[in-house]
Amino acid sequence: MIGRFFRKLFGARTPVPPAKHEGHTFVSVAVEHPGPTNAIAAEEIEDRFYRMLLGVAPSADLAMSATEQAAARRVRDAFGTERFDVGTLPRLPSVVPQLMRSLRNDDSSSRTLAEQISRDTVLVGEIIRVANSAYFRTARPVTGLPQAITLLGQNGLRRVVMQLVMRPILRTDTDALSRAAGDRLWEHAERCARTCVFLSRPAADPFEAFLAGLVSQTGAQTIMLELDAAGLAQLSLSRPFVAALGQQVERLSLHAARHWQFPSRVVQALAERADPADAGARTPLGRALLAASRVAMLDVLVEQGLADPDSVLLATPTQGFNQERLVAARDDLRTPTAAEA
């Protein structure tokens, strides 16, 4: 589905697998704040990331065509206001709201949690799998749900639950291009969640930081499907058009978090992230999410051969983090976690 959209929207192109992108010459943008030679501006990172998802080459076009402007307005009208149809948003499994309420309650017993989790066999298997990972180094294999719940703790449980819920929302299996885009979106979600926790310490709640990072690109698939269904004419892929699509992804992700009744601080951080001028990041979690999303994008680009391994997000005053902190966030992503162990 996404592959058809790309072909309709941007013209017939030969799909380019991630590994083949290495031959592209990316167009750098001017930056106002000089930094290390390996630092890349946020705008450049986002442009490369979305082009990778779309499977299209870089562009030096700095103005949208009339057709692009019409397409951008169509997406903005459909998803950029409070009046859009919430029915277009993915639905969370029915077990999730009740389980999340229990996990927010410190008085919830392991038995209560086990009863709720046991209704979803896939969730049971994932929790036991993580509990048996090398990260926890248990003397004996964990075979029962109560033992796994005790080992992971409430924060660990909440993370496993939300990862399992969000994975199919971001990943699709309709064709090669959509699978590749979904895989990259999921890689970004996991890394953004982790980096958001890292950068928000000690000011923000760790799980809220994790959740904000995990859902920050939730809107991507819905917008792509909508544009695919519209059957739009061929467009040139200018840098402003790519940026406009990215902006609508962030705004729809905000709508989704509100629709799912996520914690207010998570919703606020997503609202700040969606500000087009980076001027809205006022809260510690909002600032962390703004930087974490870009750090995660760059890490995915590095893995796909679209950026040098030592690249780092360029620090700017609007982001609220110095260059040393952003380098530390990049390096933290390269340390194994429980889920990876």
Asked if residue 75 belongs to a domain, the reply is no
Alpha carbons 72 and 226: distance in angstroms, whole number:
12
Q: How many CA atoms lie within 13 A of 95 on its CB side?
A: 17
Q: Are residues 166 and 183 in the same domain?
A: no
Q: In this structure, are 205 and 286 located in the same domain?
A: yes
pLDDT for residue 274 = 87
d(CA 200, CA 46): 21
Give the domain-ending residue among 170, 200, 232: 170
- Residue 322 placed within a domain: yes
What is the pLDDT at residue 134? Answer: 76
Which of residues 153, 170, 187 is at a domain's end? 170
Nearest to 63 by CA among 219, 200, 202, 239: 239
Same domain, 58 and 196: yes
Tell me, what's the pLDDT at 6? 32
pLDDT at 21: 43
Residues making up the chain, counted from first to last: 341
Q: Is the pTM of this model over 0.85?
A: no
Find the Cα–Cα–Cα–Cα dihedral 159, 226, 11, 236, rounded to 10°: -80
Q: Which domain holds residue 134?
A: 92-170
Residues 118 and 266 in one domain: no
Cα–Cα distances in angstroms (integers) from residue 94 to residues 118, 160, 180, in the given order? 13, 16, 28
> What pLDDT shows up at residue 281?
67
On whether both 283 and 194 belong to a single domain, the answer is yes
Does 85 reside within a domain? no
In a domain, 244, yes or no: yes
Q: Is residue 81 part of a domain?
A: no
Q: How many CB atoms lie within 10 A of CB 195?
A: 26
**Nearest to residue 242, comparing CAs of 45, 110, 33, 89?**
45
Q: Is residue 80 part of a domain?
A: no
> Do 239 and 263 belong together in one domain?
yes
Is the distance from CB of 245 to CB of 223 less than 8 angstroms? yes
Q: Are residues 231 and 313 in the same domain?
A: yes
Total domains in the fold of the chain: 2
Q: Is residue 222 part of a domain?
A: yes
Q: Are 235 and 148 contained in the same domain?
A: no
Each residue's pLDDT tens digit in the chain (341 positions)? 433 333 333 333 333 344 344 444 444 444 445 578 899 999 999 999 998 988 888 888 898 888 788 888 888 887 766 666 667 676 777 677 777 777 767 666 777 778 888 888 888 888 898 888 877 777 788 888 888 888 888 778 888 888 887 887 787 766 676 788 889 999 999 999 999 999 999 999 998 999 999 999 988 877 777 666 655 434 568 999 889 889 989 988 998 888 888 889 999 999 999 876 666 668 999 999 999 999 999 999 999 999 999 999 999 987 889 999 999 999 999 887 644 44
Query: 313: which strand partners?
Result: 40
The DSSP 8-state label assigned to residue 88 in this structure reads G
Helix axis angle, 145-170 to 220-230, nearest 10°: 30
Looking at 137, 153, 170, the residue that finishes a domain is: 170
Structure tokens at 312: 């780092």
If asked whether residues 49 and 181 sit together in one domain, one would say yes
Other Cβ atoms within 10 Å of 70 Cβ, number? 13
Distance CA 13, CA 253 (A): 28
182 and 157 share one domain: no
Q: Are residues 321 and 187 in the same domain?
A: yes
Say if residue 141 is in the same domain as residue 233: no
Cα–Cα distance measured from residue 310 to residue 308, given in angstroms and rounded to the nearest whole number? 6
pLDDT value at residue 271 = 93
Q: Is residue 71 part of a domain?
A: no
| Residue 281, token pair as written in the block | 């990041």
CA 321 to chain centre: 20
